[in-house]
Amino acid sequence: MGSGLTVAVFGAYGHTGRFVVAELLDRGFVPVLSGRDAGTLASMAASGPGLDVRPASADDPDALDRALAGAAAVVNCAGPFATTAAPLVEAALRAGIPYLDVAAEIEANVDTFGRFADRAREAGAVVVPAMAFFGGLGDLLVTAAMGDWTAADEVHVAYGLSSWHATAGTHAAGRVSRQRRNGRRVRFAGGRLEYVDGRSPTLEWAFPEPMGRRAVIGEFTMADVVTVPSHLAVPDVRTYMTVEAVRDLTAPDTPAPTAVDARGRSDQTFLVDVVVRSGGAERRAVASGQDIYAITAPLAVEAVERILTGRTRAVGVVSAGAVFDAPDFLRALSAHLSFELHGESVGRRA
């Protein structure tokens, strides 16, 4: 467990940040609360005696250095990550500590891999972007499904969300991404990211029971198109989202998540169905659980613990599947999600 090690959480008072702080405390770490709003940080700290508060903003390197002083690692939960990721990675490199974030922003993750790959590798540092539900979980599932395959023709990641009551941070990050894309949508095909015009297609996906066949938005592209190709030889990575979730996300009057249990989780459920195809064969991995924001916390904190205890496979800017033993990592989260691997079969599924 955490053994009293200090972990800085930037954006600690945000919706996901609060889940991360709680998970760190549960595992015996000592969270340092950081972010721009000193008043909100102080209020949060008052609810948990002994919590250290270190206000900082992403545009103040000295304040970031003070926030990370003495920490064993930093988890960045503050979006939009187009603004916060690079300054926090720089601060982590100066401090000589691992950096993780929960960014779902495709372009921000591309920036992190592109900008810091050489420096992080040369420093022997571990930088893990998208260590979250989007990007991290999908990459772990794909890596687990690949098994002993060294390459595949296609990866499909289908997200079966019962609903999607997005946070203010999700909406803000989405606006930044849309601006960077000039209204176009993004996909990963032919071994590269492409920006295209037009509407995404509506398709059907055969989720495992009890969800079954559902209408999905095809090419509803998430951070998996960055994390998976960063270490796996797959030329086509496609992601899908249930129509109900997209409708909630885009509706102007959908409320923010509402807690329904003592852990602060909403009643949202998820099922992530991964299919990897090579030639005429396919392999699958499936995970399910409750609340995409809440599940990000055990994903991120399990990653912190494995990095700090030396259970890693690589250094530099690395995705979850590249740096961790994917099946072992997913099984370690059995208290938070279910995980199944399905053996090789022949044929295609819709």
Say which residues have a Cβ less than 8 Å from residue 173's Cβ, sequence separation at least 6.
Answer: 79, 80, 81, 82, 103, 104, 105
Q: What is the pLDDT of residues 17-41, one digit of tens each?
A: 999 999 999 999 999 999 999 999 9
Q: How sure is the predictor about 350, in pLDDT bands with cuts at 50, 70 and 90?
A: very low
For 220-280, strand residue ranges (E) read: 236-242, 269-278
Residue type, 127: V
Q: How sure is the predictor about 65, in pLDDT bands with cuts at 50, 70 and 90?
A: very high
19 touches 296 (CB < 8 A): yes
Q: How sure is the predictor about 1, in pLDDT bands with cuts at 50, 70 and 90?
A: low
Give me the CATH topology for the region 6-131+296-323: Rossmann fold (3.40.50)
pLDDT of residue 348 exceeding 70, the answer is no
222 touches 274 (CB < 8 A): no
Domains 6-131+296-323 and 133-292+326-346 share a fold: no
pLDDT of residue 93 exceeding 60, the answer is yes
Matching CATH number, 133-292+326-346, of 3.30.360.10, 3.40.50.2300, 3.40.50.300, 3.40.50.150 = 3.30.360.10
Cα–Cα distances in Å, from 336 out to 5, 22, 143, 158, 305? Answer: 23, 14, 19, 20, 16
| 3-state class (DSSP) for residue 334 | coil
Q: Where are the domains of the chain?
A: 6-131+296-323, 133-292+326-346
Which residues are paired to 133 by β-bridges?
A: none
The structure tokens listed for 194 are: 């492409």
Higher pLDDT, 174 or 229: 229
Residue type, 264: G
Which residues are paired to 197 by β-bridges?
A: none
Q: What is the pLDDT of residues 125-183, one digit of tens each?
A: 999 999 999 999 999 999 999 999 999 999 999 999 999 999 999 999 989 998 999 98
Cα–Cα distances in Å, from 310 out to 1, 59, 307? Answer: 13, 32, 5
Q: What is the pLDDT of residues 297-325, one digit of tens each?
A: 999 999 999 999 999 999 999 999 999 99
Q: How sure is the predictor about 48, in pLDDT bands with cuts at 50, 70 and 90?
A: confident
Tell me how far apart the alpha carbons of residues 246 and 161 are, in angstroms, rounded to a whole number. Answer: 9
pLDDT at 50: 79
Question: If you average pLDDT over every residue of the chain, what do you get?
Answer: 95
Sheet with strand 52-55: strands edge to edge: 52-55, 30-35, 6-10, 73-76, 99-101, 126-128, 316-317
In 3D, which of 76, 44, 32 has the Cα closest to residue 58?
76
The structure tokens listed for 192 are: 């590269």
In 3D, which of 93, 49, 51 has the Cα closest to residue 74?
93
Helical ranges in the chain per DSSP H: 15-26, 38-46, 61-68, 81-95, 106-123, 138-146, 168-181, 224-227, 243-250, 292-308, 320-323, 326-332
In 3D, which of 257, 106, 254, 223 has the Cα closest to residue 176?
106
pLDDT of residue 124 exceeding 70, the answer is yes
pLDDT at 18: 97
pLDDT at 347: 46
